[in-house]
Amino acid sequence: MEKGISVGLMGFGTVGMGVFRLIENHREKLQHQLGCDITVKRILVVDPDKHRDIQVNSKLLTVHVEDILEDPEIDIVIEVMGGIEQTRDYLKKAFQHKKHVVTANKDLMALHGTELENAASRNQCDLLYEASVAGGIPIIRTVKDGLIADEIQKITGIVNGTTNYILTKMDDEGLAYEDALQKAQELGFAEADPSGDVDGLDAARKMAILARLAFSVPVDLADVEVRGIRNFPVDDLKFGRRLGLTMKLVGVTQVRDHQVEVGVEPVFLPEKHPLAAIKNENNAVFVNSAAVGETMYYGPGAGSLPTAAAVMSDVAAVVKNMITGIQGKSYLEPSYEKKILASHQRFGSYYVRLHVQDVAGSFTIISSIFNELDISFERILQVPKKQDNGTAEVIIVTHETTQDKIGKALENLQTNDVVEEVKSSYRIEGGMAQ
């Protein structure tokens, strides 16, 4: 491509500066591999006079989005500024002006991905978003291209580095939730308002994107069952260790008879499960497929250069499509209508922690509640009674049962006189440790 490729960069924060650095520092390599030069022509910023830890020609900076969207010389818009509704409008205008778009915006793609992909296709433009899920891990390209001839059956992922860091510090160092969160904030892993991370919404948005791509079903964010780790009790981590289990905030999506399950929740994993070894702010995605079997993709889930590298892989893909004349042809309509697995179709083993009256016959009553629902026990752990209050702590690990049955059992336990409190319950992913 003789004239080279001009890029408009929307956003110049951590990721935006990372993208700029990669383009500037790897210009010769990119030109050699793609056969054309890539140049940043315009950068949309809020404050052109703000001090930045990067040298950039002030003439590139603009506060007017039209300088990017309406410039006929700009071929690709890189969106790394965040936001949802206004950003959606900007990208739709970019498509109308025949500009390809690369975005790292998981929130936008989870909520409006189908609409934007349709808009891109109508205008014969590409819309790529590898950096929106798991940072530098090329999981979207793996799902769309690497396993294209395979049948993906299940995806299990640690896709939020903040919560993984918090749980790692609680598990390895015995920190309370509040202390682990504060440490994450001090290191910049968690925002001042960590709600999106600790309440599971960030991971839910990523899992909605993966489910849509993996199973060709129009999954929406509202279809994702979400449970976060806010105020997570460190006691459960300690009991989990005694049972050979490790806690992670995990996203799971799977399909059965074209019915999809998508959820995010804290789950226990056997210590030998590959995801159990993922520490601190790292991400990992575990894929089960019919032909290849089990594969795992691991790496940093955020950060300036890892995310920027994912953005630039998409930019390179767009350039190759432009050279070969196949731009705007990658989007495929979902193949199947959306059908969500009901709770009686969702199976798993469960960890349940109870405070019960330490009197004769209590455990017989508890057992009968589970037996009535045909739920059997795999393991039982009883802790000596607490001083002065006459209660005992009981941890039960069930054999596989359904989500609706365990829900009913918990309801019945809550209203039973011998149960002082149902302290916690969590699903166990991948079976019990031996």
Does 240 lie in the same domain as 199?
yes
pLDDT score of 385: 67
Range of the domain at 419: 344-428
Q: Is residue 197 part of a domain?
A: yes
Does 160 lie in the same domain as 118?
no
Gap between the Cα atoms of 7 and 223, Å rounded: 35
Does 314 lie in the same domain as 201?
no
Amino acid at 22: L
Per the structure, the count of domains in the chain is 3
Does 387 lie in the same domain as 278?
no
Higher pLDDT, 258 or 369: 369
Q: Is residue 337 part of a domain?
A: no
Neighbours of 393 (CB within 10 A): 20
Does 284 lie in the same domain as 365?
no
Does 414 lie in the same domain as 367?
yes
Does 184 lie in the same domain as 118?
no
- Alpha carbon distances (Å) from 222 to 127, 175, 218, 265: 23, 33, 11, 15
Burial 58-67 (b: 16+ CB within 10 A, else e): eebbbeebeb
Burial 13-52 (b: 16+ CB within 10 A, else e): eebbbbbbebbeeeeeebeeebebbbbbbbbbbeeeeeee
Does 173 lie in the same domain as 287?
yes
Q: Is residue 154 part of a domain?
A: yes
Does 110 lie in the same domain as 18?
yes
pLDDT higher than threshold 80 for residue 68: yes
Amino acid at 351: Y
- Average pLDDT on 56-66 reads 97
Does 283 lie in the same domain as 145?
yes
CATH number at residue 290: 3.30.360.10
pLDDT score of 434: 45
131-164 pLDDT per residue, tens: 999 888 999 999 999 999 999 999 999 999 999 9
Could you tell me if 263 and 224 are in contact, meaning their C-beta atoms sit under 8 angstroms apart?
yes
Is 405 a residue of the active site?
Answer: no
Q: Is residue 433 part of a domain?
A: no
Gap between the Cα atoms of 280 and 190, Å rounded: 12
Does 286 lie in the same domain as 312?
no
371-394 pLDDT per residue, tens: 999 999 999 998 876 666 788 899
Q: Is residue 10 part of a domain?
A: yes
Q: How far apart are the first and last CA of the chain?
A: 59
Amino acid at 264: V
Catalytic residue among 106, 169, 206, 405: 206
Burial status of residue 12 (CB atoms within 10 A of its CB: 0-12, 13-18, 19 or more): buried
414-430 pLDDT per residue, tens: 999 999 999 999 999 98
pLDDT score of 257: 83
Amino acid at 65: V
pLDDT score of 432: 65
pLDDT score of 387: 61
Which pTM was predicted? Answer: 0.92
CATH number at residue 355: 3.30.70.260
CATH number at residue 70: 3.40.50.720
318-351 pLDDT per residue, tens: 999 999 999 888 888 888 899 999 999 999 999 9
- Average pLDDT on 191-204 reads 96
Q: How many helices (H) and strands (E) does the chain have?
A: 14, 17
At residue 162, the 3 state secondary structure works out as helix
Does 44 lie in the same domain as 14?
yes
208-262 pLDDT per residue, tens: 999 999 999 999 999 999 999 999 999 999 999 999 999 999 999 999 888 999 9
